[in-house]
Structure 1
Amino acid sequence: MSTRPPLPPFTRETAIEKVRLAENGWNTRDAEKVALAYTEDSWWRNRGEFVQGREAIVGLLKRKWTRELDYRLIKELWAFDGARIAVRFAYEYHDDSGQWYRAYGNENWEFDERGLMHHRHASINEHPIKAEDRKFFWDASGPRPADHPGLSDFGF
């Protein structure tokens, strides 16, 4: 059985680390790689979609990143307790017509003893933005640089 440190119970430092590792993973837009952070039977609520299991998670993420082009995500710790972490996030992307969007949301996560997420509840809202109003600029092939502003820096 593999583990995904840091493991619960989380401290403030390890919760922040777990959030940043999740952000970095999602910014790869590699559905198979991202899905490895979840239990085989992980249960998700993502907007109005409910999925269970890694195969379904991979499918959801592939559909998502086919529509959400040049996706860049920032996550920030909101709260933590034991094996649970709450985050807030924002991401920017454009669709195939070139319209840019910024999405905001909250996620509630629960982990097993191996550090794999077995529950993810996400609430997400988005709105169109002008290309010149974008805030998230870094090489789309990698993680957000350590010196790039976070959500609180933007006042989001």
Structure 2
Amino acid sequence: MEIEKKYPLPPFTKATAREKVQLAEDAWNSQDPEKVSMAYTVDTEWRNRSQFINGREEVVAFLKEKWQKEKNYKLRKELWAFTDNKIAVRFEYEYQNAEGAWMRAYGNENWEFNAHGLMHKRYASINDLPIDETERRL
């Protein structure tokens, strides 16, 4: 049986940490829950705002619900810091809520990877701000 790997692998350099962040941004912007979930360990642990999510199956369910509610979703991530197997990012994303109002979400994520490049832990702190459509940046 082949071991599942997701490149680049830790330990991270500045270049590989930036690459990992860009790959995550691209995956999330695809809004494909199955594709996104494959970057995480089978037993991944998340805190997303005040919600706790455990395992790929819960990740897929969470993302399906998220993107049903957050229309016209567009995300940008930026590398903040990194160590051997950890990366911190700041991000912002914009979306329309169920009523059609535009929102911008800001936040930080702390990621921890296993030796095979799969994210085992993801802790996200996020704040939402209503914006006018003319204020959109993404």
TM over 0.5: yes
Higher normalized strand content (fraction of residues): 2
Taking the TM superposition and a 5 Å limit, the aligned residue runs for 1:3-152 are: 3-136=5-138
The one-letter amino acid paired with 1:106 is N
- What is the RMSD of the two structures over their aligned residues, measured on CA atoms? 0.5
Q: Deviations over 1:52-94 (max 9, x none)?
A: 0000000111111111000000000000000000000000000
AA aligned opposite 1:84 = K
Runs of 4+ in 1 over 6 A off after TM superposition: none
- 2-structure distance, mates of 1:45, 1:98: 27
- For normalisation by structure 2, the TM-score amounts to 0.97
The amino acid of 1:71's aligned partner reads Y
* Secondary structure of 1:4 counterpart: coil
TM-score, length basis structure 1: 0.86
Tell me the percent identity: 57
- In structure 2, stretches of 5+ residues that fail to align are none
Q: Residues of 2 paired with 1:23 and 1:117: CA distance?
A: 14
Number of aligned residues: 136
Unaligned 5+ segments in structure 1 are: 137-156
Q: 1: CA distance between counterparts of 2:123 and 2:34?
A: 20
- CA distance in 1 between counterparts of 2:9 and 2:97 reads 36
